[in-house]
Structure 1
Amino acid sequence: MVETAAGGRSGLLVLVGPSSTGKTRACWEAVQILSDRGWRLWHPFDPSRAEAALASIQQVRPHTVVWLNEAQHYLGDTHHGETLAAALRALLTDQDRGPVLVLGTLWPEYEREYSALPQPGRPDPYGQVRELLTGRTVSVPDTFDQAALEAARLIADGGDTLLAAALQRAPDGRVAQDLAGAPELLRRYRSASAPARCLLHAAMDARRLGVGLHLPIDFLADAAADYFSDHEYDLLANDWVDQALDELTKPVHGHLAPLRRSNPRRTSRAPRTASSRTVTSTQAARYRLADYLEEHGRKRRSLYPPASFWQAAHDHITDIDDLERLGSAAFERHRLQWAYHLYALVPASRSLVMLALIRQIVGDLEEAERLLVRACAAGDQQALLSLAHLREEDNDQQGAEHLFRQAAAAGNDQALKELARLRLDAGDTDSATQFLTRAAKSGDVGALKQLAWLREKTGDKDGAESLLARRPATTPFLLMELARLRAEGGDQEGAERLLSEVVEAGRPYVLIQLAGIRLETGDPAAAERLLTAAADGGPPEATRMLAHFRQHFGHREEARQLLLQAAYAGSTHAMLELLDHYHGAGEQTKVDEFLADFSESSDPFTLIELAIFCQETGDLNAADSLLTQACASDDVYALLKASRLRLEAGNEELSEELLRRAADIGDWGDEVPDEFAAMWPFGLDADGTPTPPW
């Protein structure tokens, strides 16, 4: 239609589709070529859209785009709509005033209303509008098709992070609605009333900690209690939940709402029993948090939910997977008591090992062993391993080996490796080899690696290589390890032969290792060629190694330039070497320049290493500033490292504060940091205070 208008023929087109499907944007993109050709755009809107259009339509001249966005405000006007439709029809047929292009957008319900034929004997309120729109509408679907989605994914893969996030949130193809509705969702969240805001915070925390999509309203209501300030809580009305839901369920663009009533699909594969057919109103009252707000809520990762959240989860969450995920989230944040009580709601077949681990952490070894014995009796192989380790800690080596053998007999490869470890400790190499061989035959790469090392150390080099030949996918990495062992044992030729088998793959670290061997065997020219190849497009550490090589042979300025290149490419070791060099040479100006450059880094570990350097060289103010900057990232490992440094500097209070922040963020997995166990042996309460013995 735009091309036709550009060619000299007037036309009208109305895009019909649901809210926020891209109708207005499509029109706007389409008319850009007309702007380049001198066309004007007219958007009548004052004092009202229909009045403005009707008052000035006679003044429209050739090469004008008449912009009727949200055309219901023009054509559906009860006083002027029909007159305006007639005037538009006249404009389109008046050759002296053309070419003109009329573009509009309309929701489907209005299009159906305007196109409906009147009942006999009834008024025809949209006769002119119907004639105007006949044959001049295009339907805009509410989802992008697969071809468009594939094109969008290519753009997202090219670096468009906004589009990538929208595609992830809208796998059903409702990308335009997501992009249109997201800003309004965020505005509604930021301007929400206290009850609505607290419900949203409870929902955000539930989703980021593992609760499923469909959140029970009784859970959200109880969970929200401690999110209120005392003043806000005192002002709550009796029906505050209903008021908050009324506020949050009103849709924004694209029919999105901060919270919307959800109807989980049933996935039963068998007929329901009579007792399961009735759904109570409480069960049905579930709500889903808008995907965009869920994503935004993940920025709350450093905030640990209050006690009411955990009590509500314990009282209202019934899905076993949700309970397990919440228990894990509490455990990873060192809230051991809540983790224990949540896991206690999970069937024993899935919870006994974790319950035992928590009891073990808090020092109740007797109860931990009792729980593990129960799990072992139920056939849990992981329980066998955990109980065996517990027996080892109690110096019961015979009991531990008996349990490992039970697990191995059940087909557990980890148990076979544990038995090999025990046998090696006892000096029984033959039995260890047998256990590792059994594990390697079942495909355990770790066992294969241990077995190859063992054969290499006992002199069976051919046997070690033949083992690796069976698993070509893992060969490069294992061959590097064997090469290292041979080089350490004085077999430089054998080490070089192994590395030569994988050097064609261009792996930089293989090239570096091979260069080291060439250097030791008296071939510096070959070593330099290998290091240069490794540094060319490889990791910055390869460039640092090449700098050391050039330094070794007296090319100091070239070595310094290579170190600078490696440092600015991300090598922390190169950065620290240069700082040490400048400091040792008394070049404080260079030190200051270097610190200024790298203190802008967003990598918390780079900042921590700089802080350590400043601390060691006496610049305590700079060290303090760098540590503060490193901790702003909320990286849990950086917080732990910074906590240790603060403790070494004698600041116990700040050290504990950083440690608590790390605990609130969590994500430690099954290994509880030693600092947590030492500082808070029984865990933390929801508010971050140490939990008393329980």
Structure 2
Amino acid sequence: MAAENKHELLIEFGTQLRELREASGLSQSDLEGPPVAGFSIKTISAKERGVGSRAPEWDFVKRYVKRCRDRRDPRQKVPVEKYDETTWARTWELLEDALAEQTRAWRDSDSPAAGSARPGRRLGLPVGDCDPLLLEVHPAIQLPGTDPAAVLPAYVPRAHDARLREIVDGMLDDGRSRLVTLVGGSSTGKTRAGWELLQYLERAQPGRWWLWHPYNPTHPQAVLADLERVGRHTIVWLNEAQHYLMPNNQRLAERVAAGLRNLLHTPDRGPVLILATIWPQYWDTLTSPPSSGGPEPYEQARKLLTGTRVSVADTFTPAELAALDVPGVDPRLGYAAGRAEGGRITQYLAGAPELEDRYRAAVPAARAVIQAAMDARRLGHPLAIPHALLAQAADGYLDDHDWDALDKSWLEQALSYASKPCKGARGPLTRIRSRPTAPTVGSGQPYVRLADYLEQLGRVERTDSYPPPSLWEAFAATVTDPDLLRHLGHEARWRGRYQRAISLYSLAADRGDADAWWLLASMREDAGDPAGAENLARLAATRGVTAPLHRLASRRRVAGDVASARALTKQAAGLGNLDALVDLGQLAEKEHDHNSAARLYRQAADGGNHRALGNLALLRDRDGHHAEAVALAIQAADGGNPWALQDLALSRDYDGHHAEAVALAIQAVERGAGSALRHVGLAREDEEDYAGAEEAYRLANDHGEVHGLFCLAVLLEEVYQDTAGGEEAFRQAADRGSVDALTVLAERADQAGDTATADALIARAVELGYLDVFRELASAREEDNPDRAENLLRQAAHMGCKYSWFDLALKDAAGDLAGTEAVCLKAADRGALNALEKLALLWERAGAHADAEKLRRFGLVETRSTETSGPHSTWIAAPLDFASYGGPVAE
């Protein structure tokens, strides 16, 4: 959850404001008069451009929307719901929540300290002493006549191997550390390619390199425990990197990624080779740039991974297949080449067809435990799945006939069937056996892991299936980790099953999870019980968790209940919430009581709140104490809030001190606020100082912010009318990985009919983790080339973008109320966050306002199937029950 993404969210929100104004047929000057403090053209422009680091005040947003509605050009046919204050309040509140979450995540994501490796025994083992099977290289199928000891067939180099060796050769030449991420589907040869790269490195520098494979007690904890000890000539082996970078504790995930970035960027610890493997869907999640849908959960991982991808194809090329048809090739390779479909050699060698056959042919009980494991993994359960979970979940995957037919030993028989090797490769479910030197997993009960190939198959085949209640109840009975419980609660809530989410959030809150307390309070407020939400927030505060009380105050402020908001903020501040103290300081500032504001900011700063230091810096600057303001902003930046310097730079720029503003912005960038110079440029543009804007954008580019180069390209084209210069800047930005520039160039190529160039640019954006490029281009081509638009959406849907699938399905069902309802319900089952809101809007347009409101408040009935037909009221959950789970909710 990134600080830099904070500014992208502000830009997106500002874009929504501007689009409303333009749709209303208004200019900025149309909104300005009569004069109101804080509502000048300059302010309007700044808010529309997302300048600053805080959300616009709600009063500003409310007035802005009202003026757009009241002064709209009557010739503009704008739907009345575009001006709905409640909808805008929800959007603004999401922005506020996202910004607050990012601030908390930033404070909690401190990376391991920089510096040289700690003294001690060298990590890992010499490469020559490593065992490929212990490094999770898949053993190959066995055939009659082959040596059982030869677990791996002779290696046939493929296209990606040349790229891997090129990267390693570069590392050996310049001595700089490298990260390589092998991206490909299950059983495509990623881990084997990594193993062969180790052998290449060992041959180049015999005995010099050691390999460290961190995994105990958990993957991320093992990394953090010893990362500072990693020194020169170490290979950090991160097979299935999602286990390290996507644990359910996102703060832990960001600490791991930040620590790995620090290792790569500390020259005196190199050269180090970090070798990672990952599936494409996890790569897309980790490397997707910020969007307007909410905070960015994996900013450190995105910055770590971007530009490190080496793709491993699912299939052998014709030339690679031909290399298998020569004398002396391992017979298993020839066997696979003659039987694998479409060149899927490595999958066949790893037993994938046998795994799928074993799954398809399974008796009901065995199929039930495999499907329960599939659903558990796709919902985010860790790799180790306890027997108890499968035993409790299985009945939901069996009909009455099959359930009644089970005998007492059904679970043992099912697991025995699922654990049998497939021609020497692992079976569908493999028992996890603890090593004698490792601590016992969990409580000591038996655990199994699902075969990678079947996990990938389950993510595709079961994507439309809402898991049965028995699985959720098994989660509640067997999961004790509060981060995982909260994550599973999210999975239920995203699917519209609010009652199930409450039960899981309650369990997490019982175990001390602060975020779960807030989620319960906010759901209670959304369900129409503000008093209950307030009581729950106060109860949390008595247990040392004051954030829900503070965030509830923010919600009350959005709702216009200023008195309640102030009272709750004071309560939170009195109980020690430092953010609430800062909010009280802001209220004092609005009332022109600068002495009280300064006192409150200093009190919060003394408690360690660096946001307060930033606010105090701005306050002292407004009062004319510029040197003190700079010192405070630097202190805030050194404490982890570099945006204090950015805010001060923008304040100085606003007052006409442009050179000083640039100098402060450079300091902000050097301390981590990468967008500071770009925002100075945007502020200069607002003042029509285009030379100053150009200077700031070029400086931003010089300091490594590629979006500054993108802004320069826009300036050159739109202001200077320099088409050639703008095009060149767009291309430079695209070459440096700007997805915005790639999208612009792809759209232009597509409009010009050069689909080959457009597709190549799209592929580059996708490689950087930006699947939304398909949707953006589809939207641009919808009117002039609907067939191309549909093709783009289908490509994205095929690659796993649930929102592109949703777009297509809604287009197919257009005009059919029942069909559109069914699409929305299926999208909810898939976990599309916007599905319920689209369904509620559909019902409102059909006149069912009461049902739409109930749907928003209570969600869907958990047991509803996507095949259900009938009145939509039967799909709405009953009023939510917050008291039946015990713990804090019942209190």
- Residue-by-residue CA offset, 1:596-636 (whole Å, 9 max, x unaligned): 55555533322222122223x43333333333433444446
- Residue-by-residue CA offset, 1:624-669 (whole Å, 9 max, x unaligned): 33334334444467678x599969987877776675566445597x
| 1:208-607 matches, cutoff 5 A | 208-209=378-379, 211=381, 215-228=385-398, 240-251=410-421, 258-260=428-430, 286-290=446-450, 292=452, 296=456, 299=459, 302-303=463-464, 305-310=466-471, 312-313=473-474, 316-317=477-478, 319=480, 321=482, 323-344=485-506, 348=510, 350=512, 353-386=518-551, 388-389=553-554, 392=557, 397-473=562-638, 477-499=643-665, 531=698, 534=701, 539=706, 541-542=708-709, 545-546=712-713, 548-549=715-716, 556-567=723-734, 571=738, 573-574=740-741, 589=752, 595=758, 597-598=760-761, 602=766, 603-607=770-774
Deviation at 1:317, TM superposition (A): 2.8
User: 2 CA distance for matches of 1:208 and 1:490?
Assistant: 54
| More displaced stretch, 518-527 vs 202-211 | 518-527
Q: Contact (CA 8 Å) 2:358, 2:428: kept in 1 or not?
A: no
Task: Give the match for residue 115 of structure 1.
Answer: none
The answer to whether structure 1 residue 153 and structure 2 residue 236 are counterparts is yes
Aligned in 2, Cα 1:614/1:454: closer, same or farther, shift over 3 Å?
farther
Aligned in 2, Cα 1:687/1:693: closer, same or farther, shift over 3 Å?
closer
Letter in 2 for 1:247: Y
Q: Contact (CA 8 Å) 1:540, 1:570: kept in 2 or not?
A: no
Q: Which has the higher contact order (CA 8 A, sep 6+)?
A: 2
Task: Give the match for residue 683 of structure 1.
Answer: 859
Q: Contact (CA 8 Å) 1:540, 1:567: kept in 2 or not?
A: no
Please report the TM-score for the alignment, with normalisation by the length of structure 2.
0.48
Aligned in 2, Cα 1:413/1:624: closer, same or farther, shift over 3 Å?
same
| More displaced stretch, 213-222 vs 359-368 | 213-222
Q: Contact (CA 8 Å) 1:216, 1:287: kept in 2 or not?
A: yes
SS in 2 for 1:153: strand
- Residue-by-residue CA offset, 1:546-583 (whole Å, 9 max, x unaligned): 57448866754344343344456554554676688899
User: 2 CA distance for matches of 1:154 and 1:221?
Assistant: 34
Task: Give the match for residue 204 of structure 2.
Answer: none
Deviation at 1:238, TM superposition (A): 7.3
Aligned in 2, Cα 1:220/1:577: closer, same or farther, shift over 3 Å?
closer
Deviation at 1:335, TM superposition (A): 1.5
Letter in 2 for 1:334: G
Task: Give the match for residue 693 of structure 1.
Answer: 878
SS in 1 for 2:236: helix
Letter in 1 for 2:793: L
Aligned in 2, Cα 1:446/1:589: closer, same or farther, shift over 3 Å?
same
Q: Contact (CA 8 Å) 2:385, 2:448: kept in 1 or not?
A: yes
Deviation at 1:465, TM superposition (A): 0.8
Deviation at 1:466, TM superposition (A): 1.7
Q: Contact (CA 8 Å) 1:639, 1:658: kept in 2 or not?
A: no
- Residue-by-residue CA offset, 1:74-97 (whole Å, 9 max, x unaligned): xxxxxxxxxxxxxxxxxxxxxxxx
Q: Contact (CA 8 Å) 1:388, 1:399: kept in 2 or not?
A: yes
RMSD, aligned α-carbons: 5.6
Aligned in 2, Cα 1:320/1:507: closer, same or farther, shift over 3 Å?
closer
User: 1 CA distance for matches of 2:623 and 2:816?
Assistant: 51
Task: Give the match for residue 629 of structure 1.
Answer: 795
Q: Contact (CA 8 Å) 1:249, 1:257: kept in 2 or not?
A: yes
Deviation at 1:412, TM superposition (A): 1.6
User: 2 CA distance for matches of 1:417 and 1:548?
Assistant: 37
Aligned in 2, Cα 1:462/1:362: closer, same or farther, shift over 3 Å?
same
Task: Give the match for residue 131 of structure 1.
Answer: none
Deviation at 1:200, TM superposition (A): 1.9
- Residue-by-residue CA offset, 1:265-313 (whole Å, 9 max, x unaligned): 99xx9xxxxxxxxxxxxx9864322574696478469455422434542
Aligned in 2, Cα 1:562/1:312: closer, same or farther, shift over 3 Å?
closer
User: 1 CA distance for matches of 2:453 and 2:401?
Assistant: 26
Letter in 1 for 2:709: A
User: 2 CA distance for matches of 1:410 and 1:650?
Assistant: 54
Q: Contact (CA 8 Å) 1:540, 1:571: kept in 2 or not?
A: yes
- Percent identity between the two aligned chains: 26
Letter in 2 for 1:404: T
User: 1 CA distance for matches of 2:747 and 2:472?
Assistant: 54
User: 2 CA distance for matches of 1:672 and 1:444?
Assistant: 38
Q: Contact (CA 8 Å) 1:307, 1:687: kept in 2 or not?
A: no
Aligned in 2, Cα 1:412/1:589: closer, same or farther, shift over 3 Å?
closer
Aligned in 2, Cα 1:230/1:548: closer, same or farther, shift over 3 Å?
farther
Q: Contact (CA 8 Å) 1:189, 1:197: kept in 2 or not?
A: no
Q: Aligned pair count?
A: 534
- Residue-by-residue CA offset, 1:23-50 (whole Å, 9 max, x unaligned): x999xxxxxxxxxxxxxxxxxx9xx97x
Letter in 1 for 2:480: D
Aligned in 2, Cα 1:661/1:446: closer, same or farther, shift over 3 Å?
farther
Aligned in 2, Cα 1:415/1:535: closer, same or farther, shift over 3 Å?
closer
User: 1 CA distance for matches of 2:276 and 2:758?
Assistant: 31
Task: Give the match for residue 100 of structure 1.
Answer: none
| 1:655-674 matches, cutoff 5 A | 660=825, 663-664=828-829, 666=831
User: 2 CA distance for matches of 1:69 and 1:647?
Assistant: 54
- Residue-by-residue CA offset, 1:174-212 (whole Å, 9 max, x unaligned): xxxxx9999247843552214323212212333454556
User: 2 CA distance for matches of 1:547 and 1:395?
Assistant: 38
| More displaced stretch, 684-693 vs 571-580 | 571-580
User: 1 CA distance for matches of 2:598 and 2:683?
Assistant: 30
| More displaced stretch, 304-313 vs 180-189 | 180-189
Deviation at 1:18, TM superposition (A): 10
Aligned in 2, Cα 1:364/1:233: closer, same or farther, shift over 3 Å?
same
Aligned in 2, Cα 1:647/1:501: closer, same or farther, shift over 3 Å?
farther
Deviation at 1:508, TM superposition (A): 7.9
User: 2 CA distance for matches of 1:314 and 1:154?
Assistant: 31
SS in 2 for 1:443: coil
User: 2 CA distance for matches of 1:498 and 1:163?
Assistant: 40
Deviation at 1:478, TM superposition (A): 3.5
Task: Give the match for residue 368 of structure 2.
Answer: 198
Task: Give the match for residue 80 of structure 1.
Answer: none
Please report the TM-score for the alignment, with normalisation by the length of structure 1.
0.60
Task: Give the match for residue 57 of structure 2.
Answer: none
